[in-house]
Amino acid sequence: MKVNSLQYQHTHYAALGSPWSAKADRIQSATGILLGCFLLAHLHFESSILFGKETFYHVVQFLEGGMFSSTGHGMPIVTKVFSIFIMLVVMLHAAVALRRFPAQLGQWRALRNHMQGIKHKDSHAWFWQLVTGFILFFLAPVHIFTMITNPEIGPHLSAERVYHANAWLLYALLLPAVVVHAMIGLYRVAVKWGLIRHRKGLRKAIKVLIIYLMTLGILSLISYIMIGRSLVLPITPFVP
């Protein structure tokens, strides 16, 4: 049985027109903002490797609560606990977001026909958020689970994970998906809740931000690969 665009929209929005849907929208927006802000901070903290091993080392010690330690060294348990928290937020965000995901082939066809008929930039942005969200459903938990089970971070330890454990393959796929998904998500939240009305200017800002974050992430990844190539197994943790 074929499902046309009108049928899909009617069924889709009828299912969403409930008090739970309004609450789920708020949860999705709140968790999306939290994860988007976390991504912005995470990519910048990771990029401290571009300023050298010692800079990255001190950033890690600071984030892991080194100032509260008698030795001045950070505590990996902080990374573990925070990673568990982020995993729970991701699970909650995915749970409420999945209700909007086209579940049947006919719905995907209806969405494609709708996009071909109506050349609307926000509709295309939503489509790419769906695609990247699908990719992240598989990739993000792998990365977060790795940080839960192996929370040790440092110039040498992180480079070992990236190069010798071939995690660069995961990050090469994860980086564009998470950046595009998060930035489009922040744009849609700003528009949805009336935080900004100048969509054209905001879209330009989001495109610039995507390019900037992608560049930052790629340069950081290359730095870890170069450091990893110079290391000899077994790895000795970096200490300045």
Cβ pair 57, 240 in contact under 8 A: yes
At residue 137, φ and ψ (nearest 5 deg) are -55, -30
For tokens 């454990």, name the residue. Answer: 165
Q: Is 143 annotated as a binding residue?
A: yes
Contacts of 115-121 with CB under 8 Å at 24 or more apart are 117/5, 121/199, 121/203
Q: Annotation-wise, does 42 bind a ligand?
A: yes
- Crossing angle for the helix pair 121-149 and 76-97, nearest 10 degrees? 140
Q: What is the residue type of 125?
A: A
Gap between the Cα atoms of 43 and 214, Å rounded: 9
Q: What is the CA radius of gyration of the chain?
A: 21
Q: Is 10 annotated as a binding residue?
A: no
Asked if residue 120 belongs to a known ligand binding site, the reply is: no
What tokens appear for 194 in the block?
A: 């009336």
3-state helix, strand, coil in the chain (%, to 5): 80, 0, 20
Whether a cis peptide bond, with omega within 30° of 0, leads into 234 is yes
Annotated binding residues, written as ranges, equal: 42, 93, 143, 181
Annotated binding residues for heme b, written as ranges, equal: 42, 93, 143, 181
